[in-house]
Structure 1
Amino acid sequence: MGHGDCTWPVSDIERKYHDNEWGAELHDDRKLFEFLILDTFQAGLSWKTILNKRENFRKAFDGFDPERISEYDDLKLEELMQDTGIIRNRLKIQGAVKNAKAYLKAVEEFGSFDSYIWSFVGNKSIVSSINGPEDYRATCPESDAMSKDMKKRGFAFCGSTICYAFMQAAGLVNDHLNTCAYKNRK
């Protein structure tokens, strides 16, 4: 099956991501953490850039293991700053460590990151009515609330726009075009 009618996936890697992940409801804590870290690095860049470096990020960040990332020291941060396979931005690398620590606290408090993050949408995906590119938005009240709460809990790079992109990636929001073959996927 092709990428349906959604117009944004133009490269092979984007089509594969669209067809297999984007907008599908995600409840796996480790995968949610991966998207959180990838969205940290995506800030100000294209998602295609991140997708092209995803395997490099996976290797550099110990398979997105939040416990290991939360313990990164200055030596590891310097090692990451030298890794040409990832986005070498010191603030974003430090943000990933900060997010790992905040993630672990959220898991401890809520039992799972899934329980925490899906609470912002009442545990049910928001299905947007998208007829064309003009209907896309960058934030919503739920991403505003998520951003505010995540900042309070010590997360970094979690503005409402980044939260909304995370929500799209993890299926908390389904922004496929109404005519897309993947609109009704769970």
Structure 2
Amino acid sequence: MKQIPEGDTHERDVCAQCGYIAYDNPKIVAGSVVAHEGKVLLCRRAIEPRAGFWTLPAGFLEAHEQPEEGARREALEEAMARITLEGLIGIYTVRHISQVQMFFRARFEGPPDFSAGHETLETRLFAWEEIPWTEIAFPSVVWTLQTWRAGEDGMRDIERFSVSI
């Protein structure tokens, strides 16, 4: 049943028999802008949501996984790419779907080596002017690419990354 547990401030699902409290917390997404010679790696999604649209390699963290580990794992799963992270671009809060998304600057570990993983139709390096903006899967991909392009440290203005869409 729904109730506010003693000492809490939010209504929660609480088991009437044993008192177990089920917390509904945000999902954490980690991803990266993998750049090579001014081009960025994008993946065309093979799965919903937004199948057929382009995105950055990114996905939900696994339990007990650090965001950096998750970003590297997602690049390997979605683009078969081994990457090195170079710093945090930004953290985006997407309230209406209860997600916190973290994106990192990255490069390939060696020469560019990538291909479509099982959740991806195709992968490709895009120059800025080639990015298919009308086919980008999620607003956070646009925000991240814009911050990457500007060469900004996204954490300078943390307020601009708390969005409600």
In the superposition, the TM-score normalised over structure 1's length comes to: 0.28
Higher strand share: 2
More relative contact order, 1 or 2 (CA 8 Å, 6+ apart): 1
Higher helix share: 1
Greater Rg, structure 1 or structure 2?
2
